[in-house]
């Protein structure tokens, strides 16, 4: 689909669009500016329609080849300028090899489930209406980004195909070249690849070992900038994908209150400590939801780490787990391990 991803079997399909968020380093911003941005972004999430699912994808990659290639391809204005640029390139290239350079990307994807019926014209109209609706919602983020000197760019077909293919092939320059020169199915790209499963849930592809971790249990509480806790070690070659879904506040309350009533009757027949704990949790969830503006009904976090060496990857996984332990109640598990071995 034009500047979108369409997948599924007719008539039930899903349509996804994406934006690339460009934002300056926020580490030196004033607390008031950061708090203002946090409040705006929180309001943005709180207004997401129930029909949408959002993915926020943050990636820190040590592959700096695209930037270096662009720098090298730019000719100097004089012989001296060319000499200086060549010297700088050698210096930057060495820094890249030593792991001192990296690039960070932030992408937001929005997905809507659709039922496509009718002729080609009717289906096209449904798709266009969906895309325009999602674009309209994402545009409400513009003012919050502008206040910090940021912006976003809509992802085109090349951007979206590159994003999919770079899940395991983390060399951005290689992926871009493949996308531009090949017209193959995305599924075939991975199934007909050198991806193999190795020990301890580790995948190998394109010269890198990969581990995926999922948030098994959410923290007991959330607070602004909590992600700093698990990104504080400034890891390179790691990505975090946060998937959010919303539900109408009244519907959520009705569901929780119905579950509370059922459990109350069950406890009247036969009580137990675990049932009492569940009842208290439901009671607290109802109170919290009544105080909130509604919105997020489910949250999934997937962490992806990669390295050219298994030992380095294992160390990164252990460090990330340790960082998450600082979030009270949060637990990660390695998705590639058998269920009985997850920890």
In SS3 terms, 93-143 reads as HHHHHCCCCCEEEEEEEEEEEEECCCCHHHHHHHHHHHHHHHHHHHHCCHH
Give residue 167's pLDDT.
Answer: 73
d(CA 292, CA 152): 29
pLDDT along the chain (343 residues), means of 10: 82 90 81 82 81 88 78 85 88 80 85 88 90 92 83 89 76 46 48 59 81 77 66 73 78 83 89 86 80 66 87 86 76 63 45
163 vs 132: CA distance, rounded Å: 21
Write down the pLDDT at residue 130: 92
Alpha-carbon span 242 to 236, nearest angstrom: 18
What pLDDT, in 10s, does the model give residues 66-101?
A: 778 888 888 888 888 888 888 888 888 888 777 777
pLDDT for 303 equals: 87
Per-residue model confidence (pLDDT) at position 186: 47
Strand partners, 301: 242
Dist. CA 154–CA 28, nearest whole Å: 27
- pLDDT (0 to 100) of residue 246: 76
Six-digit token string for 1: 């689909």
75 neighbors 171 (Cβ within 8 angstroms)? no
Q: What is the dihedral of CA 290, 292, 293, 297, to 10 degrees?
A: -90
Report the run of H or E that residue 278 belongs to, with start and end. helix 273-291
Residue for token pair 């946090």:
38
Closest residue by Cα to residue 264 from 254, 278, 252: 278
Beta-ladder partners of 213: 303, 334
Q: How many other C-beta atoms are found inside a 10 Å radius of the C-beta of residue 342?
A: 16
Phi, psi of 298 (to 5 degrees): -150, 150
What global pTM score does this model have?
Answer: 0.74
Please give the pLDDT value at position 132.
93
Sort strands 208-217 and 151-154 into parallel, antiparallel or unpaired: unpaired
């Amino acid at each position: 689909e034009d500047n979108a991803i369409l997948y599924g079997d007719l008539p039930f399909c899903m349509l996804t669009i994406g934006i690339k968020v460009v934002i300056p380093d926020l580490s030196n911003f004033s607390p008031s500016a950061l708090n203002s941005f946090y409040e705006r972004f929180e309001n943005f999430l709180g207004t997401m329609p129930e029909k949408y699912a959002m993915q926020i994808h943050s990636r820190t990659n040590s592959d700096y080849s695209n930037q270096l290639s662009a720098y090298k391809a730019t000719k100097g204005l004089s012989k001296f300028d060319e000499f200086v640029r060549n010297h700088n390139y050698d210096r930057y290239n060495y820094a890249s090899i030593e792991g001192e350079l990296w690039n960070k990307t932030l992408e937001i994807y929005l997905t809507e489930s659709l039922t496509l019926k009718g002729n080609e014209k009717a289906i096209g109209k449904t798709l266009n209406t969906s895309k325009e609706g999602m674009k309209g919602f994402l545009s409400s983020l513009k003012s919050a980004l502008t206040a910090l000197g940021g912006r976003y760019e809509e992802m085109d077909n090349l951007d979206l195909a590159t994003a999919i293919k770079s899940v395991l092939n983390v060399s951005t320059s290689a992926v871009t070249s493949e996308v531009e020169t090949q017209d193959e199915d995305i599924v075939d790209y991975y199934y007909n690849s050198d991806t193999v499963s190795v020990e301890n849930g580790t995948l190998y592809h394109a010269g890198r070992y990969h581990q995926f971790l999922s948030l098994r249990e959410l923290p007991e509480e959330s607070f602004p900038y909590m992600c700093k806790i698990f990104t504080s070690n400034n890891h390179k070659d790691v990505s975090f994908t946060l998937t959010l879904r919303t539900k109408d506040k009244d519907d959520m309350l009705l569901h929780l209150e119905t579950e509370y009533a059922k459990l109350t009757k069950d406890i009247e027949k036969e009580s137990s400590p675990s049932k009492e704990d569940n009842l208290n949790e439901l009671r607290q969830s109802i109170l919290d939801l009544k105080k909130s503006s509604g919105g997020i009904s489910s949250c999934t976090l997937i962490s992806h780490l990669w390295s050219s060496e298994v030992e380095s990857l294992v160390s990164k996984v252990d460090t990330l787990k340790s960082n998450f332990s600082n979030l009270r109640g949060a637990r990660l598990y390695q998705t590639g391990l058998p269920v009985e071995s997850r920890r």
